[in-house]
Amino acid sequence: MANIKIEKGVSIARNTTDYPLDEMQIGDSFLVSPCDDKERKKIFAACRFYKDKFKSAKFRFTSRVEGDGYRFWKVKVANKKG
C-alpha cells in the first residue's frame, strides 16, 4: 500500500485557464495566433467547461479563422420559440 499522509488546512487550488473567459462580456472576443486545430479544440473544451458552471447560461462561444489563428467570441444564446 502507498504511503499516504492525511493533511489538514490545505486550500483547494482554483481552476484556472490561460483564457480570459471570466472577464468576457457578451460580444467580447480574443485571438489566439498562431493556433492549430488541436489548440482550438483545447480552447473550446475550456469554454464548454466554463459555460457548464452556469446552470442557466445565456451565452455560448463561437470561433472563426483569422489569419493563422482563431478568434473566439462570447455570444448571446438566441431565444428559442416553440
Report pLDDT digits (tens) over 37-63. Answer: 999 999 999 999 899 888 788 999 999
Cell 484556472 found at: 16
Does the pLDDT of residue 79 top 80, yes or no?
Answer: no
Q: Taking 90 as the threshold, does the pLDDT of residue 64 lie above it? A: yes
Phi, psi of 46 (to 5 degrees): -65, -40
Q: Which three cell numbers stand for residue 30?
A: 480574443
Nearest to 23, CA basis, from 79, 77, 72, 78: 72
56 or 28, higher pLDDT: 28
Per-chain mean pLDDT for the chain: 87
Q: Identify any residues that bridge with 59 across adjacent strands, giving them in sequence order.
A: 76
Q: Which residues share a beta bridge with 28? A: none
How confident is the model at residue 1, as a pLDDT?
Answer: 64
Q: Could you tell me which of 22, 25, 71 has the C-alpha nearest to residue 44?
A: 71
Inform me whether the pLDDT recorded for 82 exceeds 60.
Answer: no
* Rg, C-alpha atoms of the chain: 17
pLDDT exceeds 80 at position 14 = no
